[in-house]
Amino acid sequence: MCDGPADDSAWLRAAYSDRSLVTRAGPVHADQASPGARPRGVPTSSGTMPGLVVRMLRHGRLYDGVELGLIGTGTGASTALAARRLGSKHVTAMDVDPYLTETATERLASLGVFPRVVTCDVTGPLPGDFDRIVSMVALRDLASVTAALRPGGRLVTTLARMSVIVTADKDADGGARGVVEWDRAGFMTTRTGADYPPGTEELFAAVRDREGEQTTEGRYPVLNVAEAWDVRAMLELAAPGVETHYEERGERRTAWLVHVDGSWARASATWIDPPTVHQGGPRRLGTLLERIRHRLNAEGRLPIYGSRVHITPDGVCHFTRGKWSASYG
């Protein structure tokens, strides 16, 4: 945490560094926290790395006069860039957190930038219609954003638990068609309230050291799935809603998969040795993961990146590449 008034140069270096900075954890916003504070809770807001903001806006193919809906106000930095490029009257920024929209509006006004900044839940109807919608949060359901696009309008977003960037242009049937870009990004997921709903922490604690209903030797070394973005995306398509955990203790590596339906898997091994895999519940999540990794090993790639995308008006995202197909939402 940087104490701006105490060290302006350190504050500026952090703000302009090309990395994302968490600005809210649990109930505490960074500018309300005392120096040295270590608030507990899941991060719910951040200042996105500037390079990624620029990439997302470039994927939007902006042009003079375009009406832009920008989802995820955060600190207001991305809104400032968009407003400088398009003009304030052409930018609408949206966020579910009223504190963020209020403080961003004040910051932007101090710079002479006056876009429309709206507090709203983007999982429901959006406040207007747009030529371009660029989301700086990961979406679970694409129905409301697709509905808010004008004919021919363009959507740029990532998807919850999938670090893929989808770009799609609205078509005549009310849906949108596009691609998964050869680019990637990880954003926080949309939420409908002040915080995320309870996660799988209790499920994880319950299976942390449990003996599996099935115990096998895995084929591949233990993997931190959250950091293997193409594998993580394919796992989400195979088992929507699965959560991942990973730990290293010396050379001992352990990874868990848990799901609210009670399915779970744990793989543990020393460094790159074949792991012992425990699994339980209605589905064998470890087996699903191994199939994905086997495909990657056999083909040298996974089909998600570069795939074609069709978003139907009900918000479901359909992927195809060659003979492979999958759906999300």
Name the residue ranges covered by the structural domains of the chain. Answer: 48-180, 201-299
User: Fold identical between 48-180 and 201-299?
Assistant: no
CB 287 within 8 A of CB 305: no
pLDDT value of position 239: 96
Say how far apart CA 250 and CA 256 lie, in whole Å.
17
CATH topology for the 201-299 domain: Double Stranded RNA Binding Domain (3.30.160)
In whole angstroms, what separates CA 12 from the centre of its chain? 26
pTM for this structure? 0.88
Local confidence pLDDT in tens for the 329 residues of the chain: 556 667 778 777 877 777 777 766 666 667 766 666 666 667 767 777 888 999 999 999 999 999 999 999 988 999 999 999 999 999 999 999 999 999 999 999 999 999 999 999 999 999 999 999 999 999 999 999 999 999 999 999 999 999 999 999 999 999 999 999 999 998 888 877 766 666 778 888 899 999 999 999 999 999 999 999 999 999 999 999 999 999 999 999 999 999 999 999 999 999 999 999 999 999 999 999 999 999 999 999 999 999 999 999 999 999 999 999 999 99
CATH architecture of 48-180: 3-Layer(aba) Sandwich (3.40)
pLDDT value of position 33: 67
Say how far apart CA 158 and CA 166 lie, in whole Å.
6
> Other C-beta atoms within 10 Å of 199: how many?
12
DSSP 58-123: HHTT--TT--EEEE--TTSHHHHHHHHHH-GGGEEEEES-HHHHHHHHHHHHHTT---EEEE--TT
Residue 156, amino acid:
V
Cα angle at 266 between 265 and 268, to 5 degrees? 155
